[in-house]
Homo-oligomer: A and B are copies of this chain.
Amino acid sequence: MRSRYFPPSLAADPVPMRDIRLLDQMFLPGTLIGPFTNANPGLGGVCTFVGEVRFDDGVEALELTHYEPLTLPGMHALADRAFARFTLMGLLMVHRVGMMRPGEPIVCVSAAALHRRDAIDAVDFCMDHLKSAAWFWKREKRAGEWHWIEPREQDHSDLARWQG
């Protein structure tokens, strides 16, 4: 292993960079990721996942309800677990709430690390756990009527990947 040189700005501030937000308005992921990357000088890699509201058959809109006393603490607790599990320099986790149209970004998770395995796995881990950690309920509007989206089996198998 080679030893690492940390640029002065990082050496002076070894606290990992954490940016966790709930937004009730449309956002542009690029406006978050650029500053996030620049806030982590000396990184080896940044992995970013952006989820958008899909153009599912006949879906006109999607609404996300959350319970504020649980959502943000849940996202911070998930960030704590990601920082404990992976060697990260920074973590950005942004989630939309409220009403969205197909094509709009709904979630953006970005992890900066010295090594790419940590960055990629941290994003994968956060995405798999975000729904169960942050208590979002979704309903979609089809033909003018709202329908709640039920839990899926896939969510459980996603979480099982990280056990043991």
Contacts and interface: CB of A to CB of B under 8 A. Distances in A.
Given A48-B47, A51-B116, A120-B123, A5 B57 contact: yes
A120 B127 CA distance: 10
Interface stretch (A19-27, A38-46, A74-82, A92-100): A38-46
Interface string A41-82: 111111111111011111100000000000000000000000
Interface string A87-114: 0000000000000000100000000001
B120 A56 contact: no
Secondary structure class of chain A's binding surface, majority of residues: mixed
Task: Report how many copies the assembly holds.
Answer: 2
Contacts of A33: 30
Interface residues of A, number: 38
A34 interface: yes
B44 A47 contact: no
Contacts of A116: 49, 51, 127
Contacts of A127: 116, 120
Interface of A: 2-7, 30, 33-34, 37, 41-52, 54-59, 103, 114, 116-117, 119-120, 123-124, 127, 158
